[in-house]
Amino acid sequence: MLIKAIPIMSASQSLFISTLLLSALGYYIDGNLNTFPYIFLMCLFLGLIIGFYQLAKKISPKKK
């Protein structure tokens, strides 16, 4: 059962990491440019899109 859960755990971890890293990057850039919510929100949504794409790619059945 644990072996079957490894791809899902990996996909959820990549969703979390991509969202966290890109939102932190956006927060840092906004802090330097004094444009707080704009770049942070763009990077946050970009991280979510990338993370959900990776999640869907890993969970979807593979075609042979």
pLDDT per residue rounded down to tens, the chain (64 residues): 888 888 888 888 999 999 999 999 999 999 999 998 999 999 999 999 999 998 888 888 776 6
Taking the domains of the chain in order of start, what are their residue ranges? 33-58
* CA distance linking residue 40 with residue 49, whole number of Å: 14
- What pTM was computed for the model? 0.83
With left for phi above 0 and alpha for psi between -120 and 50, is residue 34 left, alpha or beta? left
How high is the pLDDT of residue 60? 83
